[in-house]
């Protein structure tokens, strides 16, 4: 039996991943988010606000015996969307807390609890192409996703140094997906984000991918991690 912990499981890609994994009779899903939107006998919900780092720091995973342990750090926020010098400090802090610091804390706890079990472990961080290309108005989002990629790369190097071959980590960019985040982007004033019209065109032309379709691509990595030797990848690559 596999247990999969998924942050941000109440909507968007996190919800699609949870629903897809629950179709496998050998997988139990634990959703970690503020709200519960799934009812399934193999689903357990843990209410956790990832912007509250004191609570995240105290969080502990189940220590029950499973054949495989998966952590998917999916939760993320894009706000604030504004040029630097025109944002609130609290919004910058909240973005980094949810997008980078919380997944770093959870990953640290996850490995500390389970790595010595010598069971297969897989960590998947939901990254973004925005972590590789500067986009005006997205400074904190870009920086947090770039940080998540590098965090993943360093962990992979440490695992190789320590010969922890039972542990794999990937940082996967999902592409442009039809989620609430895209709605937030489209509603941004052009003075805060000069290329907002491009994202409006994605929506009007039907170019946004369905979360369920992207979830299937993530599952390919979950099911066959050895087929994806690179740590930082994009679903557009396969």
The residues annotated with a catalytic role in the active site are 141
8-state DSSP, 116: G
Q: Cα-flanking dihedrals φ and ψ of residue 31, to 5°? A: -90, 135
Q: Please give the span between the terminal C-alpha atoms of the chain, in angstroms, as a whole number.
A: 27
**CA pair distance 206, 211, nearest whole angstrom:** 14
**CA pair distance 139, 78, nearest whole angstrom:** 10
Largest Cα–Cα separation, the chain: 53
- Please choose, from the candidates 210, 196, 217, the residue with its C-alpha nearest in 3D space to the C-alpha of residue 126: 217
């Amino acid at each position: 039996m596999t247990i999969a912990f998924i942050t941000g499981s109440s909507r968007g890609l996190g919800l699609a991943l949870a629903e897809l994994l629950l179709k496998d009779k050998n997988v139990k899903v634990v959703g970690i988010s503020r709200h519960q939107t799934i009812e399934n006998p193999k689903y357990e919900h843990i209410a956790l606000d990832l912007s509250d780092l004191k609570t995240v720091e105290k969080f502990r995973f189940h220590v029950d015996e499973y054949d495989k342990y998966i952590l998917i750090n999916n939760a993320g926020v894009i706000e604030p969307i504004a040029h630097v010098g025109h944002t609130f400090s609290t919004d910058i802090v909240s973005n980094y807390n949810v997008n980078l610091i919380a997944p770093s804390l959870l990953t640290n706890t996850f490995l500390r609890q389970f790595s010595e079990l010598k069971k297969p472990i897989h960590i998947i961080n939901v990254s973004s192409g925005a972590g590789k290309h500067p986009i005006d108005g997205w400074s904190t989002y870009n920086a947090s996703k770039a940080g998540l990629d590098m965090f993943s790369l360093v962990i992979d190097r440490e695992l190789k140094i320590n010969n922890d071959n039972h542990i794999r980590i990937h940082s996967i960019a999902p592409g442009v997906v039809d989620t609430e985040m895209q709605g937030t982007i489209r509603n941004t004033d052009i003075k805060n984000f000069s290329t907002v019209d491009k994202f409006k065109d994605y929506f009007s032309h039907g170019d946004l991918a369905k979360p369920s379709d992207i979830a299937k691509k993530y599952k390919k990595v979950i099911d066959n991690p050895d087929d994806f030797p690179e740590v930082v990848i994009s679903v557009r690559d396969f």
